[in-house]
Structure 1
Amino acid sequence: MSRERFDDLIAFLTIARAGSFTRAAAQLGVSQSALSHTLRNLENRLGVRLLTRTTRSVSPTRAGEHLLQTVAPRMKEIEAELAALSAYRDKPAGNICINTAGHAADTILWPKLEPLLHEYPDIKVEVIIDYGMIDIVAQRCDAGIRIGDQVEKDMIAVRIGPDWRMSVVGSPHYFASHSLPQVPQDLTEHIGINLRLPTYGELLTWEFSQDGHEVKVHVEGQLIFNSGLPILRAALAGFGLAYLPEDMVKEHITAGHLVSVLENWCQPFSGYHLYYPSRQQSLPVFKLVVEALRYRG
Structure 2
Amino acid sequence: MKRNLNDLLSFVAVAREGSFTRAAGFLGVTQPALSQAITGLENRLQIRLLTRTTRNVSLTAAGERLLEAIGHRFDEIEAELDMLTALRDKPAGTVRITCGPDVLQTVLLPKLAPLLREYPDINLEFDANHAFRNIVADRFDAGVRLGDTIDKDMIAIPIGPPLRMAAVASPDYFARHPVPQTPQDLVHHNCINMRMASTGGLYVWEFDHPDGPVNVRVNGQLIFNTSAHMVDAALAGLGLAFLPEQEFGDHISAGRLVRVLESWCQPFPGYYLYYPSRKQPSPAFTLVVEALKERPQGKR
Match of 2:88 in 1: 89
For the structure 1 residues 183 and 158, does the alpha-carbon distance in structure 2 shift closer, same or farther, using more than 3 Å as the test? same
Q: Helix, strand or coil for the counterpart of 1:280?
A: coil
For the structure 1 residues 104 and 61, does the alpha-carbon distance in structure 2 shift closer, same or farther, using more than 3 Å as the test? farther
TM-score by length of 2: 0.91
Offset at 1:49?
4.2
Q: Helix, strand or coil for the counterpart of 1:210?
A: coil
Aligned equivalents of 1:208 and 1:70: distance in 2?
A: 49
Q: How does 1:1-297 map to 2 (within 5 A)?
A: 4=4, 6-46=5-45, 49-61=48-60, 64-65=63-64, 67-68=66-67, 71-297=70-296
Offset at 1:293?
0.6
Stretch moving more, 181-190 or 110-119: 181-190
Aligned equivalents of 2:287 and 2:160: distance in 1?
A: 17
For the structure 1 residues 114 and 250, does the alpha-carbon distance in structure 2 shift closer, same or farther, using more than 3 Å as the test? closer
Aligned equivalents of 2:155 and 2:78: distance in 1?
A: 20
Give CA deviations for 1:203-260 in whole Å, capped at 9, x if unaligned: 2221111115111122122222222111111111111111111012151111111111
Offset at 1:97?
0.3
For the structure 1 residues 2 and 279, does the alpha-carbon distance in structure 2 shift closer, same or farther, using more than 3 Å as the test? farther
Offset at 1:185?
1.2
For the structure 1 residues 201 and 236, does the alpha-carbon distance in structure 2 shift closer, same or farther, using more than 3 Å as the test? same
Offset at 1:180?
1.1
Stretch moving more, 199-208 or 260-269: 199-208
Give CA deviations for 1:87-146 in whole Å, capped at 9, x if unaligned: 000011111001111111111100110000100000011011021122100110000111
Stretch moving more, 197-206 or 9-18: 9-18
Offset at 1:65?
4.9
| Structure 1: 5+ residue stretches without partners | none
Stretch moving more, 211-220 or 224-233: 211-220
Aligned equivalents of 1:84 and 1:255: distance in 2?
A: 49
| Structure 2: 5+ residue stretches without partners | none
Contact 1:281 1:287 in 2 (8 A): no
Q: Helix, strand or coil for the counterpart of 2:252?
A: helix
For the structure 1 residues 279 and 214, does the alpha-carbon distance in structure 2 shift closer, same or farther, using more than 3 Å as the test? same
For the structure 1 residues 210 and 89, does the alpha-carbon distance in structure 2 shift closer, same or farther, using more than 3 Å as the test? same
For the structure 1 residues 56 and 171, does the alpha-carbon distance in structure 2 shift closer, same or farther, using more than 3 Å as the test? farther
Aligned equivalents of 2:102 and 2:237: distance in 1?
A: 22
For the structure 1 residues 49 and 275, does the alpha-carbon distance in structure 2 shift closer, same or farther, using more than 3 Å as the test? same
For the structure 1 residues 175 and 17, does the alpha-carbon distance in structure 2 shift closer, same or farther, using more than 3 Å as the test? farther
- Superposed CA RMSD in Å reads 2.1
Offset at 1:76?
2.0
Aligned equivalents of 2:198 and 2:48: distance in 1?
A: 29
Letter in 2 for 1:101: G
Q: How many residues align?
A: 296
For the structure 1 residues 73 and 216, does the alpha-carbon distance in structure 2 shift closer, same or farther, using more than 3 Å as the test? farther
Q: Helix, strand or coil for the counterpart of 1:146?
A: strand
Q: When you count helix as a share of all residues, which structure comes out higher? A: 1
Offset at 1:67?
4.6
How many percent identity over aligned positions? 56
Q: Helix, strand or coil for the counterpart of 1:248?
A: helix
Q: Helix, strand or coil for the counterpart of 1:203?
A: coil
